[in-house]
Structure 1
Amino acid sequence: MKAQFKRLFGRLYARRAQLALAVRSTVAAASAFAIASALNLRLPLWAVLTSLIVTQGSVGRSLKATRDYMFGTIGGAIYGGAIAVLIQHSGELELLGLLVLTVAPLAFIASLNPSLNAAMVTGVIVLLVPVMSHIDPLASAIDRVGEVSVGAFVGLAVSFIVLPSRAHVQIRSAAGRLLELIAAAFTELLAGLSRGRDNDALHRIQDGIGTALVALNTTGAEAERERAARLSSGADTGPLLRTILRLRHDVVMIGRASVVPLPSELQMRLAAPLAKVSEAIAGYLRGCAQAMRAGTSPPPIWPIHTAVKAYAEQVALVRSEGLTRGMPGDAAERFFALGFSLEGMRQNLIDLERVVAEWADVPRPAKTASRSDHEETPDTAGA
């Protein structure tokens, strides 16, 4: 029984962000209904729905949802109210014409700026509710803005107060997951140098990284929104996002080099140094992922420099023995591209070390390695 309780608690804890969002949404809906009823608003439903719309997974996302929904609502209420008040109508045919006149321009605006989607819905509500409820169109527009304002205020307040979730905290977990995906892809791609790999397999490996990168960029935008509103004092997300994007590009280049396996003789000569490069870089990426989540300093980077240097020296030895002269042009191009890609990845990992140190809760006592500290490392391309 105790073991089952621990497993259940572990599963719930792993979904703590989703549970927190469920709690916030429930509190926001109940609070919006209570306040709307106390204020005798005509349709408390819109206050409740608005509170749910603006209650998002992070404070930064709630800020954006509130801004977009309020702007769209106010714009739609003004336009829909103006159509209903200024153009007299009687009968269903004329009302149909006003509906087209209301929806068409607002739909076009929403297609240009999706953040104003609420304008179209609000315009239709302001136009049709007076017909169904027999109230003044101007009063309908005012009611709509009031109901949405109550819901937006309640939803945003709940996002700040009830189990608040900061995007700056979420980006640590998202970055850690992405670094682990890059580490797994890097290991698998280097293994392809001994057996080759088709394009479908390459796409399968890269797709997960691309999806995670899109999610990370979205969370980064929310984190910067929190910083702009002075709701968070975390590190700048720009260097982190740019460094991880460059690492993703490195993996893409290495993937292209691994489509064709190395000649058997080169495989025997380079298998050991490539295995050490794979182990060092993948281990470092996973260590940085753990450091991002925990807010600690990055792991030592020197094993990467040692492994890449050893690989470069072995490539230089292989070239001096003339083992690369008989390679087909395409295979030789991919072989030397691999060396350049590994050197580029080493440089980007130096940047990653600096970025992870910036996100650490406790500053590193020692000076972070920089590119200039390793300029003496030979070019892994061996060209």
Structure 2
Amino acid sequence: MASFLFAAPWLNNPTARQTIRLLVSVGLSGLVAWLTNLQEPGWALITSVIVTQSSITETLSSGRYQMVGTLIGAAVSILPITLLMFHWPLWQSFAVAFVPLAVLASWRPNTRMAVVTLMIATLFPTQDDPYLRPVERVLSILIGVGVSMLVSYVVLHEQARRDAFRNAAATVRKIVDILDHARNRDIDWLGIQDLNDEGAAALRKVQAAVEEARRERWRPLEQRDPMLAALPKALRQLQMDTLVVARAILRAGGQNTTVSRETAAALSAGMMRGFEWIIIRCESEAVTRSGEEYRVAAGVITALPTEEGIDDEIIRFAVHILRTDLISLIRLLGEDDADRS
């Protein structure tokens, strides 16, 4: 039954996965708050809803802001509570602490939870010791944040490696589009830049997924998954090379003397086979970490064309650096490092 549940296709839906994480987080927060006998367990549940995000990175960031703001607010609330015990008017006591916290929240918006904590500890009456209210508020936040982080690590996390390689394949497809349009000269430089912006957006997703993967485990990513760790840098270099090649081709204009049609066709076909292999490898790594025999990658590298036959020095140089970095990426994806996970 359990194996069927975790193999269910609907679990690939990000909305379904996040819904399950959120429900588990709220349920566990409520259970822990009940076991610790908090007078107001609702704050722990509210915190778990706010903190539990779709990625570990976002959960850690949200939890940090919640904790810092709550601790500041709880510490500052001691002042108005003390003033109230000396029979100061409520709103005057509250204003003494509220004004500096409002300035702090305006300067550092991530600390605005301090203002919320101050209001809860000061403006809501209690029959118990008034100093217990900020303490309970801190305990509630600790429970909500702690449970949310645990759930983010354990329950159906988003598998950043999968997302990284899927977006890597999308990035390479954009690179191929740029080279195709530049070769056909059916688009101007501004159009090339628009395509590059789309590729850059996909590359940013790769970088975000890699950063997420770094937080999934304590062991450094470079040790447990060197292929994934080096992926963004290799893609970024290939993307920059592509712009150089596209610029060089467009600069040559319609001159037929720079590259013969036969040479251009062979060069393009050989390069595209290398790019297609990279796309297939990235998509396969997104499904399962199986590695690849290095001799397969070596065969792909051997089949890549050289820049011989290109008279234009600028285009020859641009194609050379593109080929060099293309080989580096193929070698990276050809390494069988599946046993390091």
- TM-score, normalised with respect to structure 2: 0.79
Residue in structure 2 matching 1:20, options 8, 17, 21: 17
CA 1:58–1:194 in 2, change beyond 3 Å: closer, same or farther?
closer
Q: Contact between 2:51 and 2:148, CA under 8 Å: does it hold in 1?
A: yes
Give a deviation string over 1:274-310, Cα, whole Å, max 9, x none: 332342232122133134223231753444544422x
Task: Rate the CA distance shift 1:304–1:341 in 2: closer, same or farther, 3 A.
Answer: farther
One-letter amino acid of the counterpart of residue 80, structure 2: A
Q: Is the 8 A contact 2:171 2:203 kept in 1?
A: no
The offset of 1:71, in angstroms, is: 3.7
Q: CA deviation at 1:201?
A: 1.5
Per the TM alignment, residue 148 of structure 1 is displaced from its structure 2 partner at its CA by: 0.6
Residues 20 and 354 of structure 1, relative CA distance in 2, 3 Å threshold = same
Tell me what 1:313 maps to: 308
Whether 1:132 aligns to 2:123 is yes
Instruction: Tell me the CA shift for residue 346 of structure 1.
Output: 2.2
Alignment partner of 1:56 is 2:53: yes
Equivalent pair of 1:292/1:360 in contact (CA under 8 Å) = no
Distance 1:222 1:274 in 2: 38
* Partner-residue secondary structure (3-state), 1:43: coil
The question of 1:351 aligning with 2:301 is answered: no
Matched residue type, 2:48: S
Given candidates 274, 284, 287, the residue that maps to 2:277 is: 284
Question: Which residue of the partner structure matches residue 28 of structure 2?
Answer: 31
Could you tell me how far 1:60 is from its partner in structure 2?
Answer: 5.5
CA RMSD after TM alignment:
3.3
- Paired with 1:336 and 1:274, the residues of 2 have a C-alpha distance of 16
User: 1:37 & 1:252 partners in 2: Cα distance?
Assistant: 59
Q: What is the alpha-carbon distance in structure 2 between the residues aligned to residue 86 and residue 51 of structure 1?
A: 30
Other-structure match for 1:74: 71
CA-CA distance at 1:26 after TM superposition: 0.9
1:256 corresponding residue in structure 2: 247
**Structure 1 position 91, deviation (Å):** 5.2
2:236 counterpart residue number: 245
List gaps (5 residues or longer) in structure 1: 1-8, 112-116, 320-334, 364-383
What is the CA distance between 1:47 and its match in structure 2? Answer: 0.8
Q: Does 1:101 align with 2:97?
A: no
- Determine the structure 2 residue equivalent to 1:322: none
CA contact (8 A) 2:44 2:143 kept: yes
TM-score between both structures, scaled by the size of structure 1: 0.71
**Aligned length in residues:** 321
- 1:6-35: per-residue Cα shift (whole Å, max 9, x none)? xxx86x3542x4422210111111222243
Contact 2:173–2:279 under 8 Å retained in 1:
yes
| SS of match in other structure, 1:145 | helix
Letter in 2 for 1:103: A
The whole-number CA distance in structure 1 between the counterparts of 2:122 and 2:19 is: 36
Residue type matched to 2:77 in 1?
Answer: G
Q: Which moved more, 1:250-259 or 1:18-27?
A: 250-259
Distance (Å, rounded) in 2 between the aligned partners of 1:232 and 1:242: 13
* TM superposition shift of 1:83: 4.1
Following superposition, the deviation at residue 104 of structure 1 comes to 1.0
Q: Deviations over 1:233-277 (max 9, x none)?
A: 731443222212211222222332344434245463543223323
Q: Secondary structure at the match of 2:224?
A: coil
Q: 1:151 offset after TM fit, Å?
A: 1.0
Q: 1:358 to 1:273 in 2, by over 3 A?
A: closer
Instruction: Mark the CA change 1:195 to 1:345 in structure 2 (over 3 Å): closer, same or farther.
Output: closer
For 1:302 and 1:172, locate their aligned partners in 2 and report how far apart those are by CA, in whole Å: 26
**1:221 aligns to what?**
211
| Aligned twin of 1:367 | none
Tell me the SS of whatever aligns to 1:228. coil
The letter of the residue matching 1:257 is A
1:287-302 pair list within 5 angstroms: 287-293=280-286, 294-295=288-289, 296-297=291-292, 299-302=296-299
| One-letter amino acid of the structure 1 residue matched with residue 32 of structure 2 | I
Instruction: Find the aligned partners of 1:304 and 1:357 in 2 and give their Cα distance.
Output: 10
Identity of aligned residues (%): 21
Cα distance change of structure 1 residues 340 and 304 upon mapping to structure 2, 3 Å threshold: farther
Contact kept in structure 1, 2:56 and 2:153, CA below 8 Å: yes
Residues 71 and 32 (structure 1 numbering): CA distance in 2 closer, same or farther, change over 3 Å? same
Q: Residue 173 of structure 2 aligns with which residue?
A: 183
Tell me the secondary structure at the aligned position of residue 134 of structure 1: coil
Residue range with higher mean Cα deviation, 22-31 or 135-144? 135-144
What's the counterpart of residue 317 of structure 2? 340
Q: Deviations over 1:45-74 (max 9, x none)?
A: 321122233333344654454445334432
Please list the CA deviations of residues 161-207 of structure 1 after superposition, one character each: whole Å capped at 9, or x if unmatched: 433x26xx422432332234323432442442332522432232112
Find the residue that maps to 1:351 and give its secondary structure.
helix
Pairing 1:151–2:144 present: yes
